[in-house]
Chain A
Amino acid sequence: MSDSTPIRVDRSPTLFLERLFGDVALQSVAIIVVVLALTALGALLYDVFSDGWSRLSWQFLTSFPSRRPAEAGIYPALVGTLYLVGLTTILAMPIGVAAAIYLEEYGKGNRLARIIEINIANLAGVPSIIYGLLGLGLFVRTLGFGRSVMAGAGTMALLVLPIVILSTREALRTVPKSMREGSYALGATKWQTIWHQVLPSAMPGVFTGLILSLSRAIGETAPLITIGALTYVPFAPDGIWSPFTVLPIQIFNWLSRPQAAFAENAAAGIIVLLAMLLAMNSVAIILRDRYQRNRA
């Protein structure tokens, strides 16, 4: 050992600097990026609230749209949004949950189920406006629903279906295998096990996923414009075959007018929309927390 020449290390000055400052530099840049992104979120909220807060009033929530911005309100859009979300839930939830149960509990190792899975993953990435074109061709024209709440809810149900299926499967996956095996050991059939054991214990998770999918539906605008939801509706929908508008479309309509007063209305509408989303997400988070505590 003693006669071997010592290993010489070339000291590269850039490597030295990299070792000295690299960590600090990378970390600082990354922190700056995160802070900038959160600042953008703050700026967005500040901008909306400073423009729209003063327009917000009971009168704004209960009035019909008007050519005079100060008198205009969002009543038909609000009712339309509730109709749309309710009907979308009724259409999407049973099919979505049933599909998830099939794929998670029955379809394991089944070739057909594998194809359906890949198909759902691809559907989740289709732009929402394409669903609008589907709704226009299928519901509005072929099935003759016209530009009704039903056509809108059908379109939205197809749009959220992949999300409902994916989140329900997540929820089913968290149910421990031992629970199923215990049920089988007592002589229950597969469906009895699913209906009496697996589903009840997965329910909070299923609802969390459902609420999050529906909050996606509340904010969607493009597919409803495509199927021809009206941009100016001076009446509230009175049934599922009635023409309708929703909050995001009312906001879009006000945004496309040049007067600044309508932009204020748009901002006030956005505050209402964000409040609805916040409420829904809070419910989802509370459900999930309670669920996790029960599990622990």
Chain B
Amino acid sequence: MNNRQRRVVEFGIERMLFLCAATSVLVTGGIIAVLLFETIAFLREVSIVEFLTGTEWTPLFSEKHFGVLPLVAGTALVSAIAMVVALPAGLLAAIYLSEYAPGRLRRIVKPLLEVLAGVPTVVYGYFALLFVTPLLQQLIPTLSGFNALGPGIVMGIMILPLVSSLSEDALHSVPNGLREGAFALGATRMQATLRVVVPAAFSGISASFILAVSRAIGETMIVAVAAGQQPRLTANPLVPIETMTAYIVQVSLGDTPAGTLEYRTIFAVGMLLFVMTFVLNLISNRLRRRFREEYA
């Protein structure tokens, strides 16, 4: 090959690689296009005000109502329970791993915690339905077989490693000088951790918290298996509810023909879900970038 040919080949390869990288933008475009297309068709028949503020969700019944709030409430309830479990526990685990645990123990415990994140979600659904809920029923006899409490707790366990590993990264990247300064002023390790290191890592930790919320509202199988299929506007964790994701699964399992209003509801609900998680992820990424700049 002479020089000219070589340059042409090099240029061609670079273009091809670029096209592959650009596919990822097409994926985002595809998601938005598909969701938007069906959602607009949906909103032509149902007013956006009814969709976003209605308190009854019965698109599969003969008397149809299209108020998404019960699904949003179900999602918020389960996610809130999951966060009560995952955020404090995840942060404490991160503090332990980053500030207290001896190196060898850390190398054993960390991968074990990460196993929790690798378990398929349908397995967690099994765990919530057939282990955690029956266990809770012995403590709370009024707890229904399908409920928000069991799946919420299990989801918290699932998300814990996400919080602990990202928060640990944040704690870890706080410069040692800050700890040493605190020790030099007479602080104990706990005082240094809670008054210096954790506040210094605050933006990194909150990034992990927000990502955890986003993961919780998008989680599907645990709630599809164990939370029920009854959309209702309630804050009671003991009764069956339905989340946005579980509704999409419910409709997909049935034989709803394309082009019908029922079929379009899952795209409208999906659009809402996409927007919610997208905004949360954006905030989380922004916070993480700012954190990295602080200690780069």
**Contact residues of A with B, CB < 8 Å?**
18-19, 22-23, 25-27, 29-31, 33-34, 36-38, 40-41, 43-44, 47-48, 51, 94-95, 98-99, 101-103, 106-107, 112-113, 115-116, 118-123, 125-134, 136-138, 141, 158, 161-162, 165, 189-191, 215, 218-222, 225-228, 231, 248, 251-252, 255-256, 263, 266-267, 270, 273-274, 277, 281
B139: A residues at CB distance < 8 A:
none
Q: Beyond A107-B21, A228-B252, A255-B225, is A25–B190 a contact (Cβ under 8 Å)?
A: yes
Q: Which of B29-37, B56-64, B76-84, B173-181 contacts A (4 or more CB under 8 A)?
A: B29-37
When A and B form their complex, which 4 residue pairs have the shortest distance between CB atoms, in order from nearest?
A127-B218, A219-B120, A137-B34, A30-B96
A23: B residues at CB distance < 8 A:
188-190
B23 touches A95 (CB 8 A): yes
**Nearest CB on B from A253, distance (A):** 9
A138 touches B30 (CB 8 A): yes
Q: List 30 A-B contacts (CB under 8 A).
A: A18-B190, A27-B100, A34-B92, A37-B113, A40-B116, A41-B112, A48-B126, A94-B20, A95-B20, A99-B17, A102-B17, A102-B20, A106-B18, A122-B28, A127-B245, A128-B218, A129-B218, A137-B35, A158-B27, A161-B23, A191-B9, A215-B118, A219-B118, A219-B122, A222-B221, A227-B252, A255-B129, A255-B225, A270-B123, A273-B120
B31 touches A222 (CB 8 A): no
B260: A residues at CB distance < 8 A:
none
Give the residue name and chain of the B residue nearest to A95 (CB): B20
How many inter-chain contacts with C-beta < 8 Å in the A-B complex? 251
B137 within 8 A of A: no
Q: Which of A44, A131, A226 contacts B252 (CB 8 A)?
A: A226
B252 touches A138 (CB 8 A): no
Complex Cα spacing A161 to B23, Å: 10
A36: B residues at CB distance < 8 A:
89
Give the residue name and chain of the B residue nearest to A158 (CB): B27
B193: A residues at CB distance < 8 A:
26
Give the residue name and chain of the A residue nearest to B245 (CB): A129
**Contact residues of B with A, CB < 8 Å?**
6, 9-10, 13-14, 16-18, 20-25, 27-28, 30-31, 34-35, 37-38, 88-89, 92-93, 95-97, 100, 109, 112-113, 115-116, 118-127, 129-131, 157, 160, 188-191, 193-194, 211, 214, 217-221, 224-225, 245, 248-249, 252-253, 258, 266-267, 270, 273-274, 277-278, 281-282, 284-285
B6: A residues at CB distance < 8 A:
189
**Nearest CB on A from B78, distance (A):** 14
Complex Cα spacing A101 to B13, Å: 11
Q: Which of B16, B22, B31 contacts A130 (CB 8 A)?
A: B31
A161: B residues at CB distance < 8 A:
23-24, 27
Complex Cα spacing A221 to B252, Å: 12
B89: A residues at CB distance < 8 A:
33, 36-37
Complex Cα spacing A91 to B113, Å: 31
Complex Cα spacing A215 to B214, Å: 22
A112: B residues at CB distance < 8 A:
18
**Nearest CB on A from B283, distance (A):** 11
**Nearest CB on A from B281, distance (A):** 4
A38 touches B18 (CB 8 A): no
Q: Which of B21, B211, B249 contacts A129 (CB 8 A)?
A: B249
Complex Cα spacing A8 to B30, Å: 69
**Nearest CB on B from A167, distance (A):** 14
Give the residue name and chain of the A residue nearest to B130 (CB): A263
**Nearest CB on A from B132, distance (A):** 9
Complex Cα spacing A221 to B219, Å: 11
Complex Cα spacing A136 to B258, Å: 10
B123 touches A273 (CB 8 A): yes
B277 touches A30 (CB 8 A): no
A102 touches B131 (CB 8 A): no
